[in-house]
Structure 1
């Protein structure tokens, strides 16, 4: 039985499909991922997947997002053991070789509409994000997690047996990360707009993925413009916000980055900025407030897991002391995020990190992941609409509160049906 790899490349919620040319020995003209034979030990099939990415589409830098147990496929007299992988890439620039007749970045359910190699959709589903992905991810910011949530909803709609089942699953997905407003608002928008139609929901989720990715890009561009216009040449940040990182890379100031314990995601931010040529200093979480208070920077830029309707910002623990230090030094603090991170209410939902103590003594552990930065310590929320004041935040919050009402009408309809 031949061992093969199928690698899916993902960027901004879309995956790369390739159509095999007449130069290949099997399945010419069929759509597939990036695929090829395992030439070495099947236990090291990731090496083969990366080789195929380089040879077929010219991709040398890709982050492994997921893999799965090998899948056995029988197609007539052919038998295959498929090793599937999902890789994230930060651009869509590819260089197809002669083995590919066409390439296209698509939303994954398009697989079901194409003439593909055997079992391509089940192969994709084995490495696609899941509800558990959304629930348990502690390595990425809420913008990233919200895109994964939308992908999960889109793919579920493609497979859904009924609207009722899909709605129940949608509620679980919406509530998977209650501290992350972008997950809640974006799932709510899709379910509200679909209005009971599973096919419409799949299409609406796909459109929302594209819109969400664009919103983050525009928000980062707005923040970069703010830094340039105001002449902020020395900026502090913490945690890992892709939107903040993109803004800093665009504006190009010197950056002071906190390490962000316990995940140390600040280290990866510092590495990314340094690779872009920015003057970068990495410090400890505990040291950052003192450095800000001593005048090491002229602005603080943070992301946001949520912005309350009051204008208060919910972000990773460590944000509040930095904001206090900035206020003491008269240094402005800006939160940068897509408008979908503005909650429709003032509910603060906490999440706990890992245990700090595993001894036998009766010690209560408090290890919150997020904390509140009051609105009087924040000098503005920068979104794709530009810098929002308190009235702007309230307006967006009211829109998001309205979106959440889809569930009220759905529940009322279900109750009415049950009474009949």
Structure 2
């Protein structure tokens, strides 16, 4: 078989398609991703993928999101092994070369409506978000993951036979990350619209994903106004990161065990020329006291109906330290992160990461903790800064939307 790469560039929720020009030898006039031959070892196909992205779009800054398993395609006696790749870019600026006659950014289900190279939808599906990637993602924040969940609902609805199939996917997504309120709330919002036929859900999910990104951006803009010239944070939140990019304060950040995602955030902020200091969670309270920052800014995996906040473990300790030093604590989160109840769904890290010895030691390695409402100065959303009454009103909205499937699910909870 002939080995080729096909790359999808994603910006927000759209992917780049190009119509192949007369300069290519096969499938002229058909729509495709960024593609080309594998020139070396197929095991190193990522190198060819990056070359094709650079040559065909002029982009050198694409971030690899996922490399999929190879897809075998047969067409008119020709056999292809396609190596799929999904890259993220921060804008839609491209400089196509002579191999692309026309290019468009489209919602991925549009692939099914165009005359494409053989198997393009199957190749996209190999790198598209899935229920499994939503459930297992331990790198990104809840806002990012919730948008990917909406993309899964959009893509699966595009191929679903009936409402039952769509509802099944929606339930799986809703339950995939019980600690992350935005996932369930945003899925419920799509499904509560009455008409749940596949085409309608596909279109509503696509619109909801774009609206979710807009809401996160608006929350970040509001939070940026409250940063001051120095900020303390921890873990990884895309909304917090966007606020810091806008405000450009000096940043003290905790490394965020066990995954240490705060380390990557620190490096990214430093690359963006912010003044950044990285420390451990254990040292964060003392460093806060020594530096007297203007604010603490953290994200949230969930804001509970009573105003308390569930976020990456270490948030509660940071908020207690901030209260001791009279530093305001702002939680930046889209309104979709407000839970319709006061349940805290626990997720735990690998116990062996703390202790793998022979002694009978009990290990507690929680990933999230709960910060009481009285330690939070304000919850900053796209609707402004919510007080307890405002949070309860949003929770009631989400509770009503959950009724599409019989109301809130009774899941196991832990208190904090």
Question: How high is the TM-score relative to the length of structure 2?
Answer: 0.95
Q: Deviations over 1:204-230 (max 9, x none)?
A: 100011101111111111111233xxx
Q: Is the 8 A contact 1:194 1:200 kept in 2?
A: no
Trace 1:76-91 onto structure 2 (pairs within 5 A): 76-91=76-91
Deviation of residue 190 (structure 1)? 0.9
The structure 1 residue matched to 2:313, chosen from 313, 317, 323, is: 317
**Count of residues in Structure 1 that have an aligned counterpart in Structure 2:** 407
Structure 2 unaligned regions, length at least 5: 410-416
Give the Cα separation in 2 of the matches to 1:189 and 1:146: 12
Say whether 1:273 aligns with 2:293: no
Q: Is the 8 A contact 2:71 2:83 kept in 1?
A: yes
RMSD (CA atoms): 1.6
Q: Specify the SS of the correspondent of 1:103.
A: strand
2:71 matched residue in structure 1: 71
2:369 matched residue in structure 1: 371
Deviation of residue 162 (structure 1)? 2.1
2:413 matched residue in structure 1: none
Give the Cα separation in 2 of the matches to 1:399 and 1:59: 42
Q: Which moved more, 1:186-195 or 1:243-252?
A: 186-195
Give the Cα separation in 1 of the matches to 2:389 and 2:76: 65
2:395 matched residue in structure 1: 397
Deviation of residue 169 (structure 1)? 2.3
1:195 matched residue in structure 2: 195
Say whether 1:186 aligns with 2:166: no
Give the Cα separation in 1 of the matches to 2:402 and 2:316: 29
Give the Cα separation in 1 of the matches to 2:87 and 2:313: 30
Q: Deviations over 1:74-107 (max 9, x none)?
A: 1113221111111122222221112111222211
Q: Specify the SS of the correspondent of 1:261.
A: coil
Give the Cα separation in 2 of the matches to 1:409 and 1:176: 17
2:412 matched residue in structure 1: none
Trace 1:19-418 onto structure 2 (pairs within 5 A): 19-193=19-193, 195-227=195-227, 232-355=228-351, 356-408=354-406
Deviation of residue 285 (structure 1)? 1.1
Q: Is the 8 A contact 2:162 2:197 kept in 1?
A: no
Q: Is the 8 A contact 1:131 1:173 kept in 2?
A: yes
Deviation of residue 152 (structure 1)? 1.0
The change in CA–CA distance for 1:194 and 1:81 in structure 2 (over 3 A counts) is farther
Q: Specify the SS of the correspondent of 1:404.
A: helix
Q: Is the 8 A contact 2:6 2:35 kept in 1?
A: yes
Deviation of residue 398 (structure 1)? 0.9
Q: Deviations over 1:29-68 (max 9, x none)?
A: 1111110111111111110000000000111122222222
Q: Is the 8 A contact 1:252 1:278 kept in 2?
A: yes
Q: Deviations over 1:251-272 (max 9, x none)?
A: 1111111111121111111111
Q: Is the 8 A contact 2:346 2:366 kept in 1?
A: yes
Q: Deviations over 1:234-282 (max 9, x none)?
A: 1100000011011111111111111111211111111111122111111
Q: Specify the SS of the correspondent of 1:366.
A: coil
The change in CA–CA distance for 1:410 and 1:255 in structure 2 (over 3 A counts) is closer
The change in CA–CA distance for 1:409 and 1:218 in structure 2 (over 3 A counts) is closer
Deviation of residue 293 (structure 1)? 2.7
Deviation of residue 294 (structure 1)? 3.2
Deviation of residue 194 (structure 1)? 5.1
Give the Cα separation in 1 of the matches to 2:103 and 2:194: 30
The change in CA–CA distance for 1:300 and 1:399 in structure 2 (over 3 A counts) is same
Deviation of residue 171 (structure 1)? 0.8
Give the Cα separation in 2 of the matches to 1:126 and 1:20: 22
Structure 1 segments, 4+ long, off by >4 Å, are none
Q: Which moved more, 1:355-364 or 1:27-36?
A: 355-364
Give the Cα separation in 2 of the matches to 1:139 and 1:108: 24
Structure 1 unaligned regions, length at least 5: 412-420
2:414 matched residue in structure 1: none
Give the Cα separation in 2 of the matches to 1:274 and 1:6: 33
